[in-house]
């Protein structure tokens, strides 16, 4: 399931590391620190140590310090980190200030929910929604979501109105086709919520992230069966 490139940090001038080449685990964790910091700020807490932050984020304190040092977010020895400063730095790196445009292929229930759940108010705008079902064309499934075009019309629509992120929530049998159309239209970031492994040409730098809820349940089902047989060791959170 994991077919990750090297993706490892690339040395720069003075032995420093470009924050444009963060290790994948670091990038994912950095995005996870943001809600923790926002929560602290809401509670009026101005500063926190790496130990406190790491505890809340569910990571090791050393790894958190290392992650932050990658992006030049420095704390103060003996004191800790400034919450507001960290939020600013992280937002800058993750570009969460900027609004991203998203197109959604597959107006399935899951697709619509993703749209409603993540699409609004947090830096993402759903610019277009596509589906194979011609009956849906022209209807409005969510308030503010502009159009629904048939899957066939994706190419031209995306050419006229480019998006940065494509979400694939089609039926399994349409997933690869939707992917191909997105890629051909120049979309370089894809979120795939189908269980299909998407094939993208190796030429352009396409980033695909896959979330497979059925697979998550499968894994839990395995553990459910095991827990009766063997009362067992201690295990913990695995983040998708």
Partner DNA sequence: TAGATTGTTAATCGATTAACAATC
Q: Which stretch binds a copy of itself (CB under 8 A): 78-86, 130-138, 150-158, 215-223?
A: 215-223
160 binds, among a copy of itself, DNA, none (CB under 5 to 8 A by kind): none
Contacts with 55 (C-beta within 8 Å, 6 or more apart), sequence order: 61
Q: How many residues bind DNA (CB under 7 A)?
A: 29
Q: Distance (Å, rounded) from C-alpha 164 to C-alpha 208? A: 13
User: With binding defined as CB under 7 A, does residue 210 bind DNA?
Assistant: no
Residue 110 or 153 with smaller CB distance to a copy of itself: 110
Tell me how far, at minimum, the Cβ of 123 lies from a copy of itself, in Å: 7
Work out whether 62 is an interface residue with a copy of itself (CB under 8 A): no
Which of 52/100 has CB closer to DNA?
52
Q: What kind and span of H or E run contains 159?
A: helix 154-160
Site for DNA in 67-86 (CB under 7 A): 68-69, 74-81
Return the closest-CA partner of residue 195 out of 216, 180, 226, 222: 216
What is the x/- site pattern for a copy of itself, positions 96-135, by CB under 8 A? x-x-x-x------xx--xx-xxx---xxx-----------
- Number of Cβ within 10 Å of residue 129's Cβ equals 27
14, 76, 160, 229: which one binds a copy of itself (CB under 8 A): 229
* Interaction between residue 32 and DNA (CB under 7 A): no
State yes or no: residue 6 binds DNA (CB under 7 A): yes
For residue 51, state whether it binds DNA (rule: CB under 7 A): yes
Among the candidate windows 65-73, 118-126, 134-142, 210-218, which touches DNA by CB under 7 A?
Answer: 65-73
Provide DSSP, 146-210: --EEEGGGHHHHHHHS--SEEEE-S-HHHHHHHHHHHHHTT--EEEE-SS------SSS--EEEE
Structural contact between residues 65 and 57, judged by C-beta atoms closer than 8 angstroms: no
Q: Give me the sign of the Cα torsion angle 94, 108, 183, 99.
A: negative
Beta bridge partners of 102: 126, 165
Residue 184 as a binder of a copy of itself (CB under 8 A): the answer is: no
Q: What is residue 59's DSSP assignment?
A: S
95: its two tokens: 């570009």
Cβ of residue 27: shortest distance to a copy of itself, in angstroms? Answer: 6
Give the footprint of DNA on residues 116-155 (CB under 7 A): none
């Amino acid at each position: 399931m994991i077919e990750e490139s090297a993706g490892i940090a690339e040395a720069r001038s003075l032995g420093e590391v470009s924050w444009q080449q963060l290790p994948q685990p670091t990038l994912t964790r950095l995005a996870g620190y943001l809600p923790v910091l926002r929560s602290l700020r809401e509670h009026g807490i101005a500063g926190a140590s790496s130990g406190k932050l790491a505890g809340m984020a569910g990571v090791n304190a050393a790894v958190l310090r290392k992650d932050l040092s990658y992006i030049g977010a420095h704390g103060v020895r003996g004191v800790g980190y400034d919450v507001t400063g960290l939020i600013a730095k992280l937002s800058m790196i993750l570009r969460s200030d900027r609004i991203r445009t998203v197109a959604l292929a597959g107006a399935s229930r899951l697709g619509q929910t993703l749209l409603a759940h993540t699409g609004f108010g947090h830096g993402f705008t759903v610019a277009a929604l596509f589906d194979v079902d011609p009956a849906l064309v022209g209807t409005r499934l969510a308030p503010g979501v502009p159009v629904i075009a048939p899957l066939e019309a994706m190419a031209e629509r995306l050419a006229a109105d480019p998006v940065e992120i494509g979400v694939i929530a089609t039926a399994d049998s349409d997933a690869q086709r939707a992917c191909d159309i997105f890629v051909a239209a120049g979309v370089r970031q894809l979120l795939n919520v189908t269980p299909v492994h998407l094939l993208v040409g190796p030429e352009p730098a396409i980033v695909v992230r896959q979330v497979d809820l059925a697979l998550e349940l499968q894994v839990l089902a395995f553990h459910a069966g095991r827990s009766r047989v063997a009362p067992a060791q201690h295990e913990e959170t695995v983040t998708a």
